[in-house]
Amino acid sequence: MLRRTLLKSLAASAALPLVLRHGTAFAAAPDVLDVAIVSDPVTLDPALMASFFELSVQYNLHEPLLHVTPDLAIEPGLAELSAPDDTTYVLTLKDGLTFHDGTAIDAEAVKANFDRMLDPATGSPRRSELGPIASVEASGPLEVTIKLSAPYAPFAGVLANRAGMMVSPKAVADLGADFATKAVGSGPYKLVSWNKNSELVLEAFDGYWRGKPAIGRVVFHPISDETVRMTNLRSGTVQLADGVAPQLVSQVEQASDLTMKQRPGLGFNAFSFNNTRAPFDKAAVRQAFVTAVGPQVIQRAVYFGTGSVSNGPVPPSIAWAYDETLDPARGDAEKAKSILSEAGISDPVEVSVTVTNSPLQVRTAEIIQAQAGQAGFKVSINQIDPTSLITVLRQKDFDLCMSPWSGRSDPDGNMFNYFTKDGPNNFAGYQSDAVDGLLKKARTTLDQDERATLYKQAQETIAEDAPMLFLTFPSTLQASVAKLDWMQWPDGALRLQFAKFS
């Protein structure tokens, strides 16, 4: 049973930074933080978020029902959670809270959010994440009772992420399809404007439950080029930069006017094989490709020793479910050729690898191209805009496509949606009754040791079937000007309600 705990409000404080934008000097604009991010979000609607690139913005615009700390402890957010039994959860909302448009955050609003996410017509990835929900009822003005059809171990963690981000039902109804670009949440900041591929502007929300944030306005600037992001940080044009290039980490660490932060992440850098069409519909071809590519080389040459090599979806940071025994042959061109030969394949196998047009991803693709080329593959590289990535993946318009995942604090979040047969992130089109059954059983098993065994069995089968090409478990690499005080989370998401200028 979860015990109710109380998370004390944080007092807001004033800050007076001087802000420059895009290299042009502006008049002193106190209380503004400019942030360089890798890409624009695809949507601002948490019910529909599915892209890696929404991470930078999501927790600033939206507040989840529960809150996860940097050490992955789960605490109250908009609500407290209790569990009278293994299949019943009760949310008790804080009194007097509103969404950004003034609509009350009450039990009916929360029920409306759950109903929307669970409605198949919405097409929300949250439907799978929310697990075996049997009913959601407003059992009091500020109380919501959720009944499950079976125990669901990850439930609290799910409510601390996108599935717990409540939005204004009134705004959903009023805005219709425009809600995706004009979302109304209850986070520390509310939307001012979004000029796609230029800037997304948020301003502090007076009604935020922790108190108004110390920084009054946040401006997100999508800058795909890693070197340009750092140039803007060094010049003071931006004061916080996401996605620091690994080769620049040591330079940032040596700069007295900058702060470099890094910590082990929760996600993985991987590529989905298209299991639904040739050539990767054959397991032998996938196995040969995985064998040909050496992630150790990529970790050294692209990630400059940051992070660690990945052979599966669960990182060392989730220690209880991490399988350190997974150690297949990698970077072995001769063995890869042998696998192809045994499968009766002698001609070069033509494949295209799809990546976003960032230097880091292109370098990764070039190494894959070279290593696979030595093993009997003829690899071309297809570069796309980051905002197109989720569409390419969903439409399965690829042979091999980058599928980065920010990660979750529970292994279910790294595996269920990717490897169950109808998982919303099963971009590979992977179909395994064995893995599907193991992951579904792990969800309903509450004993952690038993869950660990199930996840390790699933990881072993996934390694054998090779539906994805795993490369690294990345570290979260972010940097700021030294005068900015901020907290870093292992998932890389920015939570700027905790930031202030000194």
Q: For residue range 171-182, what is the model confidence (pLDDT) as tens digits?
A: 999 999 999 999
- Is 306 in the same domain as 413? yes
| Residue 5 scores a pLDDT above 70 | no
pLDDT of amino acid 30:
56
- Residue 92 included in any domain: yes
pLDDT (average), residues 146-158 = 97
CA distance 38 to 116: 30
Residue 435 tokens read as 């893995």
Strand ranges for 141-216 from DSSP E: 143-148, 189-195, 199-204
- Is 439 in the same domain as 491? no
- Is 225 in the same domain as 280? no
- Is 347 in the same domain as 457? yes
> Over the stretch 281-333, which tens digit does the pLDDT of each residue have?
999 999 999 999 999 999 999 999 999 999 999 999 999 999 999 999 999 99
- Residue 12 included in any domain: yes
Greater model confidence, 15 or 494: 494
* Residue 364 structural domain: 269-473
- Is 196 in the same domain as 308? no
| Reported confidence tier of residue 3, pLDDT bands at 50, 70, 90 | very low
CA distance 248 to 234: 12
How many alpha carbons fall within 13 Å on the CB side of residue 313? 34
| Reported confidence tier of residue 6, pLDDT bands at 50, 70, 90 | very low
- Residue 264 included in any domain: no
> Over the stretch 249-262, which tens digit does the pLDDT of each residue have?
999 999 999 999 99
- Is 353 in the same domain as 383? yes
From the number of C-beta atoms within 10 Å of its C-beta (0-12, 13-18, 19+), residue 173 rates as exposed
- Residue 2 included in any domain: yes
Strand order in the sheet with 79-85: 79-85, 88-93, 143-148, 133-140
> Over the stretch 28-53, which tens digit does the pLDDT of each residue have?
345 999 999 999 999 999 999 988 78
pLDDT of amino acid 53:
83
| Residue 267 scores a pLDDT above 60 | yes
Greater model confidence, 5 or 481: 481
- Is 456 in the same domain as 492? no
**Torsional class of 372: left (φ above 0), alpha (ψ -120 to 50), beta (otherwise):** alpha
pLDDT (average), residues 365-377 = 97
| Residue 20 scores a pLDDT above 50 | no
- Is 155 in the same domain as 42? yes
pLDDT (average), residues 61-86 = 96
CA distance 409 to 54: 18
- Residue 480 included in any domain: no
Nearest Cα to 343, choosing from 400, 291, 271, 421? Answer: 291
Q: What is the mean pLDDT of the chain?
A: 92
**Sequence letter at residue 428:** A
| Residue 22 scores a pLDDT above 50 | no
Number of domains in the chain: 2
- Is 362 in the same domain as 441? yes
pLDDT of amino acid 52:
79
User: What pTM was computed for the model?
Assistant: 0.84
CATH number at residue 109: 3.40.190.10
> Over the stretch 445-467, which tens digit does the pLDDT of each residue have?
999 999 999 999 999 999 999 99
- Residue 251 included in any domain: no
| Measured CA distances, 199 to 5, 22, 41 (Å) | 38, 11, 11
- Residue 59 included in any domain: yes
- Is 34 in the same domain as 140? yes
Residues of 98-121 as b/e, b for ≥16 C-beta within 10 angstroms? bbbeebbbbbebbbbbbebbbeee
- Is 491 in the same domain as 466? no
Nearest Cα to 228, choosing from 210, 209, 241, 215? Answer: 241
Pairing of β 349-356 and β 377-384: parallel
Greater model confidence, 344 or 2: 344
> Over the stretch 384-395, which tens digit does the pLDDT of each residue have?
998 899 999 999
- Residue 363 included in any domain: yes
pLDDT of amino acid 414:
96
> What does the DSSP 8-state code read for residue 160?
T
CATH number at residue 353: 3.10.105.10
- Is 412 in the same domain as 321? yes
